[in-house]
Amino acid sequence: MSTVTIYNLIGQTAGSRKRYMEQAYANHKRALLALVEEVVEEVVPAVVEEVVEEVVPAVVEEVVPAVVEEVVPAVVEEVVPAVVEVLIV
């Protein structure tokens, strides 16, 4: 085998490897984009729906009354007199 033939074979192998890697990259990129699209189209709406149906009502039922029962009286007892005192002085 001549030196030129050997260099040609090496060049063809390198070119084939480069094309293979480019194709593999393109395939992985397409698969990743399809996965992202599926998440955006199916998972995100499902999570939003779950939050709206489950979390928001739970917050309204449990957190809001707790705030009204505990935080509002504390504000009235501590903050309002301090504000009035500052305004009077």
Cα distance between residue 46 and residue 75, in whole Å = 38
The whole-number pLDDT of residue 36 equals 95
Q: What pLDDT, on a 0 to 100 scale, did the predictor assign at position 76? A: 87
Q: What is the pLDDT of residue 43?
A: 92
CA dihedral 34, 40, 46, 49 (to 10 degrees): -170
pLDDT, one tens digit per residue, over 1-53 is: 666 666 666 666 767 778 888 899 999 999 999 999 999 999 999 999 999 99
Q: What per-residue confidence (pLDDT) applies to 4?
A: 63
**Distance of alpha carbon 8 from alpha carbon 35, whole angstroms:** 40
Residue 75 above 80 pLDDT? yes
Report whether pLDDT(74) > 70. yes
Q: Which distant-in-sequence residues (6+ apart) come within 8 Å of 58 by Cβ? A: none
Q: Which long-range contacts (CB under 8 A, 24 or more apart) does 28-36 make?
A: none
- The token duo for 35 is 């996965």
Return the pLDDT at 29.
96
